Structure 1
């Protein structure tokens, strides 16, 4: 399925966002609108707030369909939907009829018959959420919660929210993304969003085998040395090596990877003194990041998780309104 078809399918005839499938090609104005909406929801997620709900999705049913394992994404989507007052159904894929051979589309049709309003979909097959979005009727909305190594748009948006919160102006940022970029849907979504928001200096750092070969065409700077790539950056994002998506022995692992590309306090010192450290999770300490950095003063990793609730509230409220 082409990206062009997927992009058209995110919007209705009036140009309103009805699905969120990818950040590739999403206009700056739409990204900013989502981030601004999320900012309004941050107060709802404040731990000190007595009532943490708003009625925007009251009467709506949100179905979480996670065909891959997840902790942060699935849980924050569930929290976000409940804080919007939606009814939330978490489909247990392992005990559903998909385990008996039922097709993805037949599963979707049956859930639509149960009056589903929003599908939040994570799938190991790239563009599976696009296939669903092309199939559902106009009143049903689809949100991509990560598809293969393709895109993870809400993670990209919560990362943009985090960067904006701490650094404000994207047009002055230097951002470094480290590690397994070629298999990372998070990295692809982040790069798409950073380009749209006018970030002038996007860098990727890693071994050649873990970096896509088309990054230079996108204006992304490629480094194979941590010492060169980290110099002077404002944002440092490390990524997990996705062993489940690669052949064994293709890249250095464990201590060998950490020696070359692990984010240590010494390497972080090459960045700006006020640089922030990000990670989409799950983290492998001692592989892509040192615990002293992950738990250090410059880490905003747990803030990313908290902001994810507000961002996912924003996305669901926007698509459901169109």
Structure 2
């Protein structure tokens, strides 16, 4: 695997390899990359969790993180995404982590030879978020086969929904969508159900926020929680073992009652913690073969597993 762009490109086996690597990293704190490797974090959209967890992941691996601030870069002078990426490649970056508002920005970087990680592409995909979500589910249930996962919210504008749906279907989960009328995306072969049906049948309920910044007009959310969100009443109807996920940022009181953000079935902050180890595992998967330390870590991981 040279780039990490879409969960559609990941096989059943490759997803499990990344999850197992992340699990091993979480139980065995280790610096596995030699000094001298550089990762450039090119974030053209705001980010708290993704950007920070990549920075922590890179430093835990012993890499140097090259930061980037769009407002003080040559982008303000009209520099293209390709030229920015090519510049970082030319000055010594070994890997690029990119977030951009375009749904298909990675098509512009076809000429870049170093590994590229998609850290968010408009309404397209967010594959590293999907991996940390999968890791959280895997830790809870140990398998995805026949697990019922409902992704609920602004499906139409959600890159998280896309990446998760592709990966979950690959892993054998039963995937359903629940959405406000007008927020559906029928390009997926995934059935839609109501929120009331969702809470009663799901093992995992993945809530999504309303993507206000991607709507062409202002969407009123005054009655959203009551009509389409996770209320206290709906939460009480969930199965005892069912868990709640959310990629964050959370619009408290909109898609989820604020009292449920840290309730006993919520794994929202666990997801954030898992984001570091999931992204460490992805970085390692792309640098496989480039560093002897990775080979040593792989042997150690196999020892732990047996």
Same fold flag (TM > 0.5): yes
SS in 2 for 1:208: coil
The Cα of 1:130 is off from its aligned counterpart by: 3.9
Deviations 1:98-122 (A, max 9, x none): 1110111111221112101010000
Q: How does 1:1-322 map to 2 (within 5 A)?
A: 17-44=1-28, 52-132=29-109, 134-137=110-113, 140-199=114-173, 201-215=174-188, 218=189, 220-223=190-193, 225-249=194-218, 251=219, 253-322=220-289
- The whole-number CA distance in structure 1 between the counterparts of 2:26 and 2:136 is 12
Question: Structure 2 vs 1, CA of residues 289 and 57 (structure 1 numbering), >3 Å: closer, same or farther?
Answer: farther
| Number of aligned residue pairs | 289
Aligned residue in 1 for 2:300: none
Question: Structure 2 vs 1, CA of residues 214 and 168 (structure 1 numbering), >3 Å: closer, same or farther?
Answer: same
Structure 1 stretches of 4+ moved >3 Å: none
SS in 2 for 1:146: strand
Q: Give me the CA root mean square deviation.
A: 1.3
SS in 2 for 1:91: coil
Aligned residue in 2 for 1:8: none
More displaced 10-residue stretch of structure 1: 55-64 or 309-318: 55-64
- The whole-number CA distance in structure 2 between the counterparts of 1:58 and 1:28 is 32
CA contact (8 A) 2:81 2:108 kept: no
SS in 2 for 1:70: coil
SS in 2 for 1:143: strand
CA contact (8 A) 1:78 1:88 kept: yes
The Cα of 1:25 is off from its aligned counterpart by: 3.8
The Cα of 1:53 is off from its aligned counterpart by: 4.4
SS in 1 for 2:13: helix
The Cα of 1:43 is off from its aligned counterpart by: 2.2
Please, which runs of 5 or more residues in structure 1 have no aligned partner? 1-16, 45-51
The Cα of 1:126 is off from its aligned counterpart by: 1.2
TM-score by length of 1: 0.87
CA contact (8 A) 1:21 1:130 kept: no
The Cα of 1:57 is off from its aligned counterpart by: 4.8
Question: Structure 2 vs 1, CA of residues 241 and 57 (structure 1 numbering), >3 Å: closer, same or farther?
Answer: farther
- The whole-number CA distance in structure 1 between the counterparts of 2:101 and 2:187 is 23
